[in-house]
Structure formats: structure tokens, C-alpha cells
Amino acid sequence: MEAGQLLDMLAAFDLPVAAPVVDALAKRVGHLVDIGLGYLSLDRGTATLSGGESQRIKIVRHLASTLTDMLYVFDEPSIGLHARDVQRLTDLLFALRDNGNTVLVVEHDRDMIAAADHVVDIGPGAGGDGGKVVFTGSVDALASSGTLTGQHMDARPRLKDEVREPTGTLAISRASLHNLRDLSLEIPTGVVTAVSGVAGSGKSTLVYGVFCAGHPDAVVVDQSAPTANRRSNTATYTGALDPIRKAFAKANGVSPALFSANSAGACETCEGMGVIYTDLAFLDGITSTCETCHGRRFTESVLAYHLDGATISDVLEMTVGEALEFFAGHRAVAPILRAVVDVGLDYLRLGQPLTSLSGGECQRIKLASHLHRQGAIYVLDEPTTGLHMSDIARLLDVLDRLVDERAGTVIVIEHNLDVIAHADWVIDLGPDGGSDGGRIMFQGTPADLRDAPGSHTATHLRRALRSEEDRDRIPPTRRR
């Protein structure tokens, strides 16, 4: 039974003897519904939950706790949440706070930030350009602080002046997987299509379970980790390391193999890893810097070779943005690095292990590796995950380039209203999640979506597009 159905059943119980138990159960299940997980069945395996769903279930678990004076830390709890459910989430965080606890939230979502009592803004940029506290104070003061976050607090989605005309269509006929209700529709090609709807409405089922199953040639860019081991890094995965090694080899008249941490030039002690991994069996392993190469990965003889004054170790320590400037004149390297910069990952180091990347970073680095494809179908799953508000415009530019310069078709599953408003076509599923979802609530342009009846996405898009005077805000009475 779904949590929402169970809550309705509990409300109908008339059992005075068991009233305390029923009330406690109804409160716990009610939290699940309030946080937007009413569509989950109680026997749903936790391994099948998304990251956002798992985190929200943990919130529900702690809401019933009677502990006070606790510190709760949440890492982007709005991931995977529709705009309708963000207010529900903030209400639950308020409940934790009002029980006598301290709540610390790492967030990019504008509405989540607006609900805070106190804001700590880190910046001013990312990677080596970050790490500083650029603002502390109230939300109102943040808006006039001049920081990147403050500059985007009052920003709102904008509709395109003109949407693209499709070059064709891709048909889906009578889809009935999971909660889909015998859906038949056509996805336009040559445009950016946003698939929207509340959590559990059937978006992933429609796109991954039905569409991708019928189009195995589609480039699926999700948030799973790239196929990698501890040796894989930004340079190896994107393919930038091969031309970099050749450039070093040509400049010094030696073999390119010397500049591979997996080959002849690698430090023998750490085998090119730069660190020593010590397995402690039942305890967590220990990582220590190699005492021979001091983390530089290569032998002293290899580090004697230079390219424009830099060693191969120096290059691997560069951020992608720094490396793009360094290799600006190398036609084989610069385009690869430019693609990584375009997806907002200019702060990653070339030698940074892929195992250290977040889900959003994994998705964007995979997207960067496919930007050269021509005429491909791209399927992206919430690419705004982990993105600051200031980087969303850069992501939208990348999506536009996939269509305009690469003649591609982009299908993006997304809750972010900036992305939905920027799309050429929107497919909205709903009206709710689980058994109450799986229906097409709207198909058309974002401008027409505003007037769609019964669509939660339409309701919140209308609010987001209103003037400043009419725009709904978090009630200030909830702040302290």
C-alpha cells in the first residue's frame, strides 16, 4: 500500500483502545506524505530509491525523535523535489528547528535559501577561486550583498521569445509500464524537450523505461559514476591526457609512455597513484602521500622534462580552466578542455580522481565527453543537480548548442523552472505521484503551459513568472 493510501485508511479507524498507536503511526506516515513521498509503497526496497528520496526518508525518521539540542546537517535535500514539495520540505525543517534543534542545510535552491534564518555564503567562485566566506547574515541582506548568490536571489525564469520548430517526431505508443496509463505521445526532434511533473509521476519510467528502451542509440547522461577506478581522473576520462602526453613527448623528443602514470614514467613506490592506500581490513583504509614522489606520481627523470615551463605533474595539478589557458595554442587539447569548461566544471583539477566527484559533476563530465556528437539524441536526468543558480544559464547554453550546432535532440527530466521555461516543448506528467500519476497533464510550449489546468508545474511556473509584487515568498513569520 502506498503511504498516501495508508494515511487515508488510518484516518477512518475508530479504535479507542489503539488510538495512541494509530495516532503515532498516522503522524509518521503523514510526514512521508508531507515531504512528497506519499507515492512510495511500504514494501519499496531502499536500494531502489533515488538519492533525494533516501535523504527525505531519513528526515522523516528524525522528525519523530524526541531528542532536542541536536545538530542536523542536510546536503541539498531539495534534489529531486518538484517546486510544489519544496515548501513542504521547509515546513518539516522548521519543525525540526522548533523542536529545539539546529538545522544546517547545504543548498542551491532559491526557495530553500529564502526560508533560512541565517545564511553563510561561500565563494566567490569555485575550486581555487572559492573557499572564502563572502557573506553571513539574513536573507534580506544577502539579496543586496553583491555575491553571486545574492545577485540571483531575485532572479526568475524567462520564457523564450521564440521556440524552435521541430524537425520531426519520435513516437511512443500505448506505454503502460509501472504507473503509466496507456500513454501515446510524440517527442519532437531538433528541439529541447523538458519532461516535468512531481516526484513519482512517471517521468523516469517514460523516458528511461519506455523511450530509451526503444531508442538504444540515445546518449543517456545520468548521475551515476562514470565507469572508473581509482586511477581514472578528469584528464583520462575526457581524453585530454593523450594529446597532452604527445605534446610533452614532442617538446622533449622522448616517448609519450613516459608521461603516463600507468606506464614507464610512473613512480615505482606508489605505481603512479601519488598516494599509498593501506587496507586495514575491518577498519576504514588509510590514504597517505607517497614519500618517494611526494604526490607527484612520476619519477625524478620524467619530472625533468618540461612543456612551456611546466612538468607533467604541474599540468595534472592545474584546474581545467587554468589548463585551457595553458593549452590555448594546442588544437588537440583545447577543444576537449573547452567542453568541460562549458558544462561548468572549470574548477576540477586535471588529475582529480573521478571517484571524488558528486552525482551532478559525474553527469556533467559525461555530457562534456559527448559534446562532439552530431545529430544525437541526448537524455539528461536533472542536470541542474548540484548547480549554483549562476551556472544554470551556462547549462542552458550547452543544451542550446547541442541542438543548434550539433543538430541534436535534447530530452531533459527536470524540476527546475528555469530549464522548463527555456525549453521548446514540455511534457508534464501527473497530477501526483505513484498511482495518482502516470497521466499526461500537458504537452506544448512553456508559454502555453502557464494556462494548463490541474498541473502543479503550471501553477508554480505562473507564480515564478509573476512580477515582484505578486510573487509568492516564504512567509517571514516562519523565520526567527
CA end-to-end span of the chain, whole Å?
39
DSSP-derived pairing of the beta strands 425-430 and 192-196: parallel
Q: Do 133 and 33 reside in the same domain of the chain?
A: no
> Looking at 333, 355, 377, which one is the last position of a domain?
355
Residue 476 pLDDT: 45
If asked whether residues 367 and 385 sit together in one domain, one would say yes
Alpha carbon distance 205, 219 (integer Å): 17
Number of structural domains the chain divides into: 4
pLDDT score of 224: 78
Q: Which of 48, 101, 157 is nearest to 416 (CA)?
A: 157
Range of the domain at 43: 3-105
List the CATH number of the domain containing 286: 1.20.1580.10
Q: How many CB atoms lie within 10 A of CB 19?
A: 11
Please, are residues 62 and 181 in contact by the beta-carbon 8 Å criterion?
Answer: no
Sign of CA dihedral 439, 180, 54, 358: negative
User: Are 389 and 470 in the same domain?
Assistant: yes
Residue 284 lies in a domain: yes
| Same-domain status, 200 and 145 | no
Residue-level pLDDT, tens digit, the chain, 480 residues: 999 999 999 999 999 999 999 999 999 899 898 888 889 999 999 888 877 788 788 888 877 777 889 999 998 888 888 888 888 889 888 988 998 999 999 999 999 999 999 999 999 988 888 999 999 999 999 999 999 999 999 888 999 989 999 999 999 999 999 899 899 999 999 999 999 999 889 999 999 999 999 999 999 998 777 866 778 999 999 999 999 999 999 999 999 999 998 888 999 999 999 999 888 877 778 889 999 999 999 999 999 999 999 999 999 999 999 999 999 999 999 999 999 998 889 999 999 999 888 878 888 899 998 888 899 999 999 999 888 898 898 899 999 999 999 999 999 999 999 999 999 999 999 999 888 999 999 999 999 999 999 999 999 999 998 744 454 444 544 555
Residue 178's Cβ-count burial label (10 Å; 0-12, 13-18, 19+) is middle
Tell me whether residue 160 is in a domain. Answer: no
Angle at 32 between CA 427 and CA 206, to 5 degrees: 25
Q: Are 402 and 219 within 8 A, CB to CB? A: no
- 249, containing H or E segment: helix 241-252
Give the DSSP H/E element, type plus range, for residue 435.
none
DSSP for residue 284: P
User: Is residue 161 a part of any domain in this protein?
Assistant: no
Which pTM was predicted? 0.86
- Residue 252 resides in a domain: yes
Question: Are 295 and 374 found together in one domain?
Answer: no
Q: Do 384 and 469 belong to one domain?
A: yes
**Does residue 248 lie within any of the structural domains?**
yes
Give the closest residue to 316 by CA, choosing from 223, 386, 231. Answer: 231
Does residue 163 fall inside a structural domain? Answer: no
Q: Are 342 and 385 in the same domain?
A: no
**CATH number of domain containing 51:** 3.40.50.300
Residues 6+ apart with CB under 8 A from 341: 320, 321, 324
Question: Residue 194 in 3-state DSSP?
Answer: strand
Same domain for 240 and 328? yes
